[in-house]
Amino acid sequence: MTVLDDIIAGVREDLAKREAAVSLDQLKEQVTNVSSPLDVVARLKPADGAVQVIAEVKRKSPSKGALADIPDPADLAGIYEQGGAAAISVLTEERRFGGSLADLDAVRERVDIPVLRKDFVVTPYQIWEARAHGADIVLIIVAALNDDDLNSFIAQVHELGMTALVEAHNREEAIRGLDAGARVLGINARNLKTLDVDMATFDHVVDVVPDTVVCVAESGVASPTDMLNYARSGADAVLMGEVLVTDGNPLQAVRDMVAAGKQPN
């Protein structure tokens, strides 16, 4: 069993408990009372060509363990927004990442920029759940889905007015995601089956992504230089978490990353 398989097994167990507590019909009713999703593509690929920062609220990870306590995720998200982040990523997976839907609610209430629900989506219920809790973006991991589910999940996210961040780890997955209708494609340097990080992954995959699709670089960022390198390789946006939550001054850390994204390519 790979790390991804193990994570998904836990996700399904926790999901079953939530489904027993809140029905799909109840979720759909909740969605009718939620504000419309924000436009994501224009924010992540602005006309001025600046490479955007997606800043993540991240307490821990399977590879590093505990990263930061983050007692007030909304406060951290507000700092990210103040620092110039274009969007906020909120981990809602509990077992390996220490996140929750309550974190998503708190962040959505605080910020005026798009919010990403970052989790391991394996059923349509989770997509409705994301919208009911105010998400504008939903992570869809190609490696976790067969082609039928990949196509239907991306379509459902878009039908609900949200944007799918379709995550790939190699060229084959990127092509599958694009064929399934991805408007925003993430290229993750971290192999979710082994947790190894290879920063060269982005360069190996980016050429299959058309200019009409927002290209997001994910994982491995440890400094503004890494941000700049991703920008020069063709990223429209860069998703980062660990480097921000472990910095003693997250406001300055975000500002430094945003500044790197504005440098000439």
Active site amino acids: 56, 58, 118, 167, 188, 218-219
Q: What is the DSSP string of 64-76?
A: TEE----S-HHHH
Torsion sign, CA atoms 145, 204, 192, 251? negative
Q: How far is CA 36 from CA 126, 134, 136, 157, in A?
A: 18, 8, 8, 13
* Helix (H/G/I), strand (E/B), else coil: 195: coil
Largest distance between two CA atoms of the chain: 52
Are 166 and 180 spatial neighbours (Cβ–Cβ below 8 Å)?
A: yes
Are 205 and 182 spatial neighbours (Cβ–Cβ below 8 Å)?
A: no
DSSP 263: S
Q: How far is CA 94 from CA 23, 87, 91, 117, in A?
A: 20, 21, 8, 13
